[in-house]
Amino acid sequence: MRHLLFAQDENFWFETLRSLGHIAYGGADFGEVEATAERIRPGDYDSWFDEWYATAQRIRALADEARAQGHVNTAQDSYLRASNYYRTAEFFLHGNPADPRILMTYDKAVDAFHDFAALSGTSVARVDIPFEGATLHGYFYPSPLPGEQPVVVMHNGFDGTAEEMHFFGAVAAQERGYHVLTFDGPGQPGARQHQGLLFRPDWENVVGPVLDHLSELPDVDTGRVALLGVSLGGELCLRAAAFEPRIKAVMAVDGVYDFSQLMLRFIEGDPEKVRAALRAPEAPEIDEQLAAAAESSPTARWAITHGMYVMGGDTPRQYAARTLDFNVRDGVAERIDCPVLICEAEDDLFFKGQPEEVFGHLTAPDKTLLRLTDAEGAGAHCHVGGQRYAFGKILDWLADRIPVAEPAASAVPA
């Protein structure tokens, strides 16, 4: 897709497109996004924060005023947009983990979403899931249909929030009659920001307690559970499905076979030798290449600084070494036996080619590769900009395998 803004900065443009895409489910307004982006100085991360934060503050104030005056719809809509704008403002701050703007802005994003949820009636509720002495925060979206219904468990990826999953499939699935449970796992903001939990590769041990929690939610058919993961979540959800038999269908948006390939693209040399060097006590040539990549590539800079924040590592190489554990290699993909949907974005900025790679390793009898294109408006990473179209395709695939239970004719009002 052509860059409408930030022609020389693919990361600034992608994150702008990401917010534009969230218009589909109420997370932004085109004019607000365009006007904010026009004020940002290209390549200036403080400018990025300042302008998005200013927009978020303005919309939050509008929401508060509308709520005080009894204009519930305006307040609800505005809180939802403000939450997304705060999330966008905070996005590039992780190069300095001590930056006080990180927690301040993250908390404002969550608070705005909670205010939205509080005005939503019964359509979304906060949940807290016990997890190894900590808590995984998330949201439950009950089905609008009566009786027991299947549930779609959803999580984000390397840099997204449980609140953002509202736009990345939660509302779309709820509209179709599914229960939805979204959550932030270790490394994701709800667990990282205040609890310090970093990403871990054994995602089945994260999803397991979440599935345990389903029994505490009303009218959930715990025998019909689907799992959906976005971005890096497209590897994590596959890993979980390989080892967690309660998952009856899995959807990778988009499919990721080996997360470390994102970092290996910035390092020259034979991939296996590079892998060994990343884990070595010293590898000055690798250190130099990663430093050079961060200096010359906005994508490398962001991947490294954010990666160290959410996965750990005192140096870029130590972080890159940790990425080696996040994959479905060595027979893991082959273990999945439930229906699998692998989504592919034609113009993926981060994981181009990986959906086909993971699809080629699947041995599940029911597997589908769904390719979404620029011509359809859905060719960007995770199909931002084409979310109505993409999630229609994704959830139609699910409905053919785990359909909702339609109410009996006598239960339908005349």
Q: Work out the average pLDDT over 192-196.
A: 96
d(CA 180, CA 178): 6
Looking at the fold, whether 197 and 342 belong to one and the same domain comes out as yes
Residues in the chain: 414
Whether residues 129 and 104 share a domain: the answer is no
The total of structural domains in the chain comes to 3
> What residue numbers bound the domain in which 298 lies?
261-323
Q: Is residue 83 part of a domain?
A: yes
Domain boundary among 293, 323, 353: 323
CB-count exposure of residue 236 (10 Å: 0-12, 13-18, 19+):
buried
Kindly state whether residue 5 falls inside one of the protein's structural domains.
no
Say whether pTM exceeds 0.75.
Answer: yes
Beginning with the edge strand found earlier in the chain, give each strand of the sheet holding 149-155 in spatial order: 125-131, 134-141, 179-183, 149-155, 220-230, 247-253, 340-345, 367-372
- Assess if residue 408 is contained within a domain: no
Distance of CA 229 to the CA centre of its chain: 7
Domain identity same for 143 and 269: no
Angle between helices 30-39 and 45-68 (to 10 degrees): 140
What CATH number does residue 215 fall under? 3.40.50.1820
pLDDT at 411: 54
Q: Are residues 255 and 265 in the same domain?
A: no
Q: Assign residue 331 a region: left if phi > 0, alpha if psi is -120 to 50, beta otherwise?
A: left
* 237 closest CA partner among 306, 326, 169: 326
Q: What pLDDT, on a 0 to 100 scale, did the predictor assign at position 403?
A: 98
**Residue 299 pLDDT level (bands cut at 50, 70, 90):** confident
What percent of the chain has a predicted confidence (pLDDT) above 70? 98
Residue 409: inside a domain = no
Residues in a beta bridge with 377: none
337 is written with which tokens? 């036996």
The first and second tokens of residue 260, run together, are 């470390």
Question: Where does residue 208 rank: exposed (0-12), middle (13-18), buried (19+ CB within 10 A)?
Answer: middle
Least Cα distance to 340 among 389, 394, 380 occurs for 394
Q: Identify the pLDDT of residue 144.
A: 97
Give the pLDDT score at 8.
77
- 93 and 131 in one domain? no
- Name the 3-class secondary structure at 188: coil
Say if 238 falls within a structural domain.
yes
Mean pLDDT, range 10-32, rounded to an integer: 95
Question: CA nearest 154: which of 409, 394, 404?
Answer: 394
Q: Which residues are catalytic?
A: 231
Q: Note whether residue 351 is domain-resident.
A: yes
* Domain match, 226 and 356 both: yes
Per-range mean pLDDT, top range of 16-30, 260-274, 396-410: 16-30
Strands 134-141, 179-183: parallel, antiparallel or unpaired by DSSP?
antiparallel
374 within domain boundaries = yes
Overall average pLDDT of the 290-305 stretch: 92
So what's the pLDDT on residue 410? 54
CA–chain centroid gap for 218, Å, is 25
pLDDT tens-digit readout, 103-140? 999 999 999 999 999 999 889 999 999 999 999 999 99
